[in-house]
Chain A
Amino acid sequence: MALDEHQPREFKVVGTRPLRPDGIDKVTGRALYGADMTAPGMLVGRVLRSPHPHARIKSIDTSAAKKINGVKAVITGADFPEVRKGEARNVLENCIAFDKALFEGHGVAAVAATSAAAAKAALRSIRVDYEILPHVTEIADAMKPDAPVVHQGFVEENVPAGHSENVITFAEYGHGDLEAGFAKADRIVERSFRTAATHQGYIEPHACLASMGPDGKADLWCCTQGHYAARAFCAAALGMQESQLRVTASEIGGGFGGKTTVFIEPIALMLSKKAGRPVKIVMTREEVFKASGPTVSSESDIKIGMTKDGRITAASAQLRYQGGAFPNFTIHMGSQSAFAAYDLAAVRSRGLNVLTNRPKQAAYRAPGAPMAIYAVESVVDELCQHFGLDPLEVRLMNAARKGTKSSYGPTFDDIGLIATLNAAKAHPHYSAPLGPDQGRGVSCGFWFNFGGDTSVSLNINFDGTVSVVEGNPDIGGSRASISMMAAEELGIPYDRVRTVVADTNSIGHNEVTDGSRVTFAVGLATIKAALAAKKEMCARAAKMWGIDEDAVVWEDGCAKPAGANAGDHDPMPLARIARKSPSTGGPIAGHHEVNADGAGVSFGVHLCDTEVDPETGATKVVRYTVFQDAGKAVHPDYVEGQMQGGAVQGIGWALNEEYIYGPDGRLQNPGFLDYRVPVASDLPRIDTQILEIPNPGHPYGVRGVGETSIVPPLAAITNAVSRAIGTRMSQLPMSPPRLLAAIRGKAS
């Protein structure tokens, strides 16, 4: 996308706060989620999962299950055709094991039956002969040269020698002379950090309904962030042509990155193929925890040098991530983003990705960035505290800005970090007095934002209304923002536009709803589609007026003659052009297909006040304010919602949430009673301030806003807690027992 795409303009619709289009459906129960889908003759699908974290599957005897009354199909990994190597194979193997169970909860067989009771009985009757293998679930253990090898064949060519075969990826970024930089520092802090794996915690479990006919054509309804990706994974798994598999995305009860892949859909399709009937699978919450995609857990060693007046002279990070038993890119994104908020002459981040006997990680808002930036921002705060410097002033002094060579390579264009830091500094929160046992924390956050393949069709209906058809499941209000951008561009009221998410056979390819891409990329394609429709409407008006179409312009929702030579014609509104369209050439539509680039990076700053009970170690977040650059906030309610939601999820990550594995390699807390996400009563109001530094790569200046907000909370809360208790915390979550131990350790 051209960098001069953005043109300043006065908005009429964009920037307002109309009622959300999905609100009534969601509060009345009319919205259809994944588990709401039904079909005549539908069977109940269930998955048998490994109780062992690591075991060779010697044999699976399904003969008894097949004899149970009501059982219509039983499958194992052997029922799937050979899938070539690569991510398609990894995704399928993560759904159902081939020769080894790689984590507790790994699917090993599945059944479809006429009732849940029959399906349950069938699962109980399946006999799996396991050869139990040594397992490893922790990063340090998995890296040891003699560690059990989790999954062979993934070591990349540039991984340094000396590690076990579980260390599969090496990432390194940075520039400058570290040694010279550290020599200029008045103080150097080196500290190690750990973060636990967490889950996205979406309320809606994974659910799907699959129906394959005897002719091999199939339909799949599922809750997903990307039904085109689901189609590609499933078609590869079943050896189908993508055209023969239509996938429809349901309404979605949260995703946050965790629904960017498939966990049950290929199984449901294969069961349906074998049974000849529709099959529905709905995961239990325990299955969601054990067999969907949590975040990576991390270990990191950070070293930062600073002068006594606050200038960072050099910075380095050693990151180690584990993301389960399969490869992922997350270590690269963590290594790239660790120091992205800073303008540094000498910076280096190195990362290793490690396989363990845990479920395959999935994205979780800004995957890889929160853990790395948490560690960096904690050390920056420690240095500020040591020198008695204002943490926002220090960040302003060292902040990345236009022209900064980023720590991961490219030079930044217009970015909003300085503006967000200044906004935080000027906000009353920053100067408000603190009470006893309270501390205030600050952190910056960053995310890349993406664009990607996008298709939009915009139809001018005969009654003068507009239907926008797009292909990205709406996880954060995109249907509203897309309708608003269409209305803005066409010059008509918002309530005349409705945006729907089409199935995979109804519109061209769309990448997954991820990377904070949809309002940027689908919005861009919608604006281009509207431009195409406007061009056609001008041509129709020109025909009706009998003038050259170049003599017609579009203004305020009407075609107008351009200049005196075009003749004296009253403006012709969209509704009239639409009504006459059958007589002037037929239906009018615009469409646009693009691989959108130029998404524009996003920065945010969070301020957090916490109060720690010295008797119990319990932390209360007493005040929280989010500052974030949105480029242009199309629907500010949704933007604020993204900012608040990220902060809340980050509060859970910082204080309570944690995948806890026992020595047996089994997850100890696969439920919301023991894996505690924050609820409303745990939280203060999350205040927000939107900054608008236009993205040069979007016609309206839009940047993605969906991910950056989960990055700063980990360090903002850590810094607040560390200042409150007078000792630096370096492990998440900061649960009450862990904090109490730190407080007592300090006292002793």
Chain B
Amino acid sequence: MVRVAVWGSLRTATDGAAEVEVEAATFKQVLDALARDYPGLAPQIERGVSLAIDGVIYKESWFTPVRADSEVVLLPLMAGG
């Protein structure tokens, strides 16, 4: 299991939990599991999200491995100037 931190305004979809656990070994599996186990997160995932894995922000890197002890933080998709 991987612990995933979700940002505050998404916690209506996680019964208020700041972190949730999902069964996943990669970036893509984390997102799929979040959308499946917490359907309220699906609209935001559809709009676009990133994952910070052990401090590095990954944008669409499906096969980036995630370990059970990884720090995983869900983040919105970002844009720069």
| A332 and B78 contact, CB distance less than 8 A | yes
Known A-B contacts A409-B52, A410-B57, A452-B59; the reply to A329 vs B79 at CB < 8 A is yes
Q: How far apart sit A614 and B22, CA to CA, in the bound complex (Å)?
A: 61
Known A-B contacts A157-B43, A409-B73; the reply to A257 vs B55 at CB < 8 A is no
Interface residues of A in 373-426 (CB under 8 A from B): 408-413
Residues of A within 8 Å of B59, CB to CB, are: 450-452, 595, 597
Task: Determine which of B7, B48, B57, B81 lies in contact with A367 in the assembled complex, contact meaning CB atoms within 8 Å.
Answer: B81
| B8 and A448 contact, CB distance less than 8 A | no
| B61 and A363 contact, CB distance less than 8 A | no
| A515 and B78 contact, CB distance less than 8 A | yes
A173 located at the interface, meaning its Cβ lies under 8 Å from any Cβ of chain B in the complex: yes
Residues of B within 8 Å of A597, CB to CB, are: 56-59, 61, 64
**B29 CB to nearest chain A CB (Å):** 17
Task: Determine which of A362, A363, A599, A707 lies in contact with B57 in the assembled complex, contact meaning CB atoms within 8 Å.
Answer: A599
A603 located at the interface, meaning its Cβ lies under 8 Å from any Cβ of chain B in the complex: no
Task: Give 1 or 0 for each of B12-56: 1 = CB within 8 Å of chain A CB.
Answer: 110000100000000000000000000010011001100010111
Residues of B within 8 Å of A172, CB to CB, are: 7-9
Q: How far apart sit A671 and B79, CA to CA, in the bound complex (Å)?
A: 28
| B18 and A364 contact, CB distance less than 8 A | no
Residues of A within 8 Å of B8, CB to CB, are: 171-174, 348, 350
Task: Give 1 or 0 for each of A586-599: 1 = CB within 8 Å of chain B CB.
Answer: 00000000010111
A516 located at the interface, meaning its Cβ lies under 8 Å from any Cβ of chain B in the complex: yes
**B47 CB to nearest chain A CB (Å):** 8
Residues of A within 8 Å of B77, CB to CB, are: 329
Tally chain B residues at the interface, Cβ within 8 Å: 33
| A333 and B78 contact, CB distance less than 8 A | yes
A517 located at the interface, meaning its Cβ lies under 8 Å from any Cβ of chain B in the complex: yes
A60 located at the interface, meaning its Cβ lies under 8 Å from any Cβ of chain B in the complex: no
User: Size range of the interface on A?
Assistant: 35 or more
| A514 and B71 contact, CB distance less than 8 A | no
| B80 and A410 contact, CB distance less than 8 A | no
Known A-B contacts A157-B40, A158-B13, A172-B8; the reply to A448 vs B78 at CB < 8 A is yes
Among residues of A, the one whose C-beta sits closest to the C-beta of B74 is A409
A6 located at the interface, meaning its Cβ lies under 8 Å from any Cβ of chain B in the complex: no
Q: How far apart sit A409 and B19, CA to CA, in the bound complex (Å)?
A: 11
Among residues of B, the one whose C-beta sits closest to the C-beta of A402 is B55
| A514 and B57 contact, CB distance less than 8 A | no
| A413 and B55 contact, CB distance less than 8 A | yes
A638 located at the interface, meaning its Cβ lies under 8 Å from any Cβ of chain B in the complex: no
Task: Determine which of B9, B40, B61, B78 lies in contact with A170 in the assembled complex, contact meaning CB atoms within 8 Å.
Answer: B9
Q: How far apart sit A200 and B64, CA to CA, in the bound complex (Å)?
A: 36
Task: Determine which of A409, A413, A595 lies in contact with B75 in the assembled complex, contact meaning CB atoms within 8 Å.
Answer: A409
Interface residues of A in 594-648 (CB under 8 A from B): 595, 597-599
**A365 CB to nearest chain B CB (Å):** 4
Task: Give 1 or 0 for each of A343-368: 1 = CB within 8 Å of chain B CB.
Answer: 00000101000000000001111110
Task: Give 1 or 0 for each of A169-184: 1 = CB within 8 Å of chain B CB.
Answer: 0111111000000000
| B73 and A363 contact, CB distance less than 8 A | no
A278 located at the interface, meaning its Cβ lies under 8 Å from any Cβ of chain B in the complex: no
**A340 CB to nearest chain B CB (Å):** 13
Q: How far apart sit A170 and B78, CA to CA, in the bound complex (Å)?
A: 15
**B7 CB to nearest chain A CB (Å):** 5
| B10 and A363 contact, CB distance less than 8 A | no
Known A-B contacts A409-B5, A597-B57, A598-B56; the reply to A366 vs B73 at CB < 8 A is no
A697 located at the interface, meaning its Cβ lies under 8 Å from any Cβ of chain B in the complex: yes
Residues of B within 8 Å of A336, CB to CB, are: 75
A146 located at the interface, meaning its Cβ lies under 8 Å from any Cβ of chain B in the complex: no
Q: How far apart sit A697 and B43, CA to CA, in the bound complex (Å)?
A: 31
| A595 and B60 contact, CB distance less than 8 A | yes
| A409 and B12 contact, CB distance less than 8 A | no
| A515 and B12 contact, CB distance less than 8 A | no
Q: How far apart sit A159 and B74, CA to CA, in the bound complex (Å)?
A: 18
| A515 and B71 contact, CB distance less than 8 A | no
Q: What would 13 more interface pairs be, CB under 8 Å, given A260-B79, A411-B54?
A: A3-B56, A157-B12, A157-B40, A158-B12, A171-B76, A175-B18, A260-B81, A362-B81, A410-B75, A450-B78, A515-B79, A595-B59, A707-B80
A-B residue pairs in contact (CB < 8 Å), sample of 7: A173-B8, A329-B76, A452-B59, A515-B79, A597-B64, A599-B57, A706-B81
Pick the 5 closest A-B CB pairs, nearest first.
A257-B81, A515-B80, A172-B8, A363-B81, A410-B52
